[in-house]
Copies of this chain bind each other. A is one copy, B any other.
């Protein structure tokens, strides 16, 4: 069964993947598992996995929330990935 077509543009998919990878890196630096980070943010465990894989385009609010649990700055994460 073909997977559902991703409605996002190539640029949006690339951004989501870069952002997901940067979040995963910050999470590992903070020594947290995906489960722990998801729990702290009140987000579903599977959702956090999809975010790190770039399969979801998160809101700025979710980025701010995740970063607050990782002691990282959203502006620094965006700067790191060229935005």
Q: Which residues of A contact B (CB under 8 A)?
A: 8, 12, 15-16, 19, 57-61, 63-64, 67, 73-76, 78-79, 83
Q: Which residues of B contact A12 (CB under 8 A)?
A: 61
Tell me the bound Cα distance from A83 to B79 in angstroms: 12
Q: Which residues of B contact A73 (CB under 8 A)?
A: 78-79, 83
Tell me the bound Cα distance from A15 to B59 in angstroms: 11
Tell me the bound Cα distance from A78 to B15 in angstroms: 17
Q: Which 4 A-B pairs have the closest CB atoms?
A: A75-B79, A75-B78, A75-B75, A12-B61
Listed by A's residue number, 8 A-B pairs whose Cβ atoms lie within 8 Å are A15-B60, A16-B61, A58-B60, A67-B83, A74-B75, A74-B78, A75-B79, A75-B83
